[in-house]
Amino acid sequence: MDRTTTELLKGPARIAAYVKTLPDAPGVYRMLDGAGAVLYVGKAKSLKKRVAAYAKTGGHTERIARMIADTAEMLFVTTASEVEALLLESNLIKRLKPRYNVSYRDDKSFPNILLRQDHEFPQLLKHRGAKSSKGIYFGPFASAGAVNRTLNTLQRAFLLRSCSDSVFESRTRPCLLHQIKRCSAPCTARIDKEAYAELVREAGLFLIGKSRAVQDLLAKEMTAASEALDFERAARYRDRIRAMSHIQLHQGINPTTFAEADVFAAFNQGGETCIQVFFFRAGQNWGNRPYFPRHPRELSIEEVLESFIGQFYDEREAPKLILLSHDIPNRALLAEALSTRQDYRIEAAVPQRGEKRDIMDMALQNAREQLARRLAENSAQRELLEGVAEVFGLEAPPRRIEVYDNSHIQGAQALGAMIVAGANGFEKGEHRKFNIRSTELAPGDDYAMMREVLTRRFSRLIKEDEADEAKAKWPNLVLVDGGPGQLAIACQVFADLGVEDVVVVGISKGPDRDAGREHFYLPHREPFRLDPKSPVLYFLQRLRDEAHRFAIGGHRKRRSKALGVNPLDEIAGVGASRKRALLQHFGSAKAVSAASLVDLEAVTGVSGVLAKKIHDFFHPNG
């Protein structure tokens, strides 16, 4: 319904009431609607002047006018400087994700490689989160896959251990990594402390960008070994040099005019923006990642880029140089704000020529191609959702589809799974697992499992909806993996909870579980099949297979965790060394459980008191 002129004046009139009490000082303001939801977060050099501009009844863009009209309340925080206001604004936008701001989903930290320095035989490993361990951190890397590939190659190049300290201390013979020449096996003294320290020193030089010096050193060692006719040692040096070269060959462009920088390249088309972020550290390219921030269509690309960068560095360290594809409105202010968080000066620049411009052009090309692929995928996704609506008789293409499946082995480690798909494909951050809690279920009762999962899911959704927190979480379409029985369970749960306006469909494989012969079941409708070549059928198969994959993966993790539980860990007084002594003496935890009190007392390090405690743990009734 269109707002009347009187309704449109409510926003400016409400905002004008705040102006008289606001200071002429920097700060951050929040605009809220009638339900208390944050519409917009902004910063100002002068809160009084900025808010007064909103109180005017004309001269605004359509987006700003809508925002003002929806505003029922405002909150303010004064800050000591405009720099502090910028930092607070970025933090609030990232946390609150207001409708009229630029925001993006960023639920994971970037992985790093850590070369530990708190052990006489340092470990090389992947690391996420706070940099609390002592050592050299190298990164960030664009993805966990990039870290894993690099770690594998670094292990071949420097033969450093990757095992945990507990595994290192318990080894009695070299592991497989030593056999395939990816570890020097310091755990079993196959290398002495001094030689291992030299490997660590070489790895450290490589990680800080002095790869050429390390390769030159190894080349000299290889030549010396060849001249001494020690061809086996020369071959080991050759393999290490090849491993380092392998890393460099897969890094693409490596800059010579700067050592570290983050490159932000933004490209906008069709109201959507792709921002490609490239990471350069120690003069090497360590990958890139595309982002698609959500923003009002009419925002300029410069505004989108500025807001994105502020949120990007809200909880991350910024490098000394930030390269931008567009000159953002508050570039100097942003650099000053980021510098206040670090102990060094940060520069934000827009390259115009030379190597930096070439790298930026490459990043822009990547952003352009990535956005083109996304727009094509979104267009195809819209067509598929329209086809789903037609097949199942929906009034409009579904905004949110939820698919449910179960997994267990004869009832053990039973788990239910829900996956979510929408206009942008799978929403993996919305996927959920449900550990089956009921102890009264018969083993393998899939119907009862589905009833528990759907009841828990939609009971919670109803509670959140009453608190006005779940408007976007309600599905338009629910698919359950199964035939008429599972469909009947879903319909019963929805009827008991009073769930309406959600279409539920059962999907089952045909004879011999052949893909392409699926049957679909809807309430009050005969079962039907789709054309085996139908794109909609392929799409529904993908949804069902994703739910199955997610459920199976969760079940396997539960099963592996259950198999890995050692009953000795539950006995007070049995630490790592005594557990190791018991397992070495008896061979397994099962053998320990069957041992007599006398046999337990014979184990080195196990006192009579502890032996009785272990025996009583496994034989509570004597």
Domain boundary among 63, 96, 129: 96
The one-letter amino acid code at 432 reads R
* Domain CATH for 513: 3.30.420.340
Domain assignment present for residue 490? The answer is yes
Phi-psi region of 479 (alpha: psi -120 to 50; beta: other; left: phi over 0): beta
Contacts 24+ apart (CB under 8 A), 489-495: 489/447, 489/450, 489/451, 489/454, 490/404, 490/450, 490/454, 491/523, 492/451, 493/451, 493/454, 493/455, 493/458, 494/454, 494/458
pLDDT-based confidence at residue 263 (cuts at 50, 70, 90): very high
pLDDT for 572: 74
Radius of gyration (C-alpha) of the chain in whole angstroms = 31
Judge if 554 and 423 occupy the same domain: yes
CB 567 within 8 A of CB 593: yes
Judge if 79 and 149 occupy the same domain: no
Dihedrals phi, psi of 408, to nearest 5 degrees: -170, 170
* Domain CATH for 273: 3.30.420
pLDDT-based confidence at residue 5 (cuts at 50, 70, 90): very low
Judge if 417 and 548 occupy the same domain: yes
Residue ranges of E strands in 485-621: 503-508, 519-521
Tokens for 11, please give them.
Answer: 């926003």
Residues 33-61: tens digit of each pLDDT: 888 889 999 999 999 999 999 988 778 88
The strand pairing partners of 478, in sequence order, are 402, 504
Stretch among 21-25, 44-48, 192-196, 283-287 having the lowest mean pLDDT: 283-287
- Prediction pTM value: 0.65
Residues 554-564: tens digit of each pLDDT: 767 766 665 55
Q: Is residue 87 pLDDT above 80, yes or no?
A: yes
pLDDT-based confidence at residue 1 (cuts at 50, 70, 90): very low
Judge if 188 and 332 occupy the same domain: no
Residues 270-313: tens digit of each pLDDT: 788 999 999 888 777 778 889 999 888 888 999 999 999 999 98
Domain boundary among 226, 249, 272: 249
Judge if 46 and 89 occupy the same domain: yes
Judge if 229 and 306 occupy the same domain: no
CB 363 within 8 A of CB 288: yes
Domain assignment present for residue 102? The answer is no
Domain boundary among 249, 272, 301: 249
Judge if 408 and 556 occupy the same domain: yes
* Domain CATH for 26: 3.40.1440.10
Cα 164 to Cα 108, 124, 545: the distances in Å are 24, 10, 36
Phi-psi region of 269 (alpha: psi -120 to 50; beta: other; left: phi over 0): beta
Domain assignment present for residue 101? The answer is no
Domain assignment present for residue 103? The answer is no
Judge if 462 and 529 occupy the same domain: yes
Judge if 430 and 557 occupy the same domain: yes
Domain assignment present for residue 126? The answer is yes
* Domain CATH for 604: 1.10.150.20
C-alpha span between 466 and 457 (Å, rounded): 15
The domain tally of the chain equals 5
Judge if 472 and 614 occupy the same domain: no
Q: When comparing pLDDT for 182 and 404, which is higher?
A: 404
Q: Which domain holds residue 171?
A: 112-249
Residues 209-260: tens digit of each pLDDT: 666 666 677 777 788 877 778 777 777 777 777 766 655 544 556 677 888 8
Judge if 429 and 346 occupy the same domain: no
Domain assignment present for residue 106? The answer is no
The strand pairing partners of 432, in sequence order, are 418
pLDDT for 403: 93
Domain assignment present for residue 380? The answer is no
Judge if 316 and 285 occupy the same domain: yes
How, if at all, do strands 477-481 and 400-409 pair? parallel
Domain assignment present for residue 191? The answer is yes
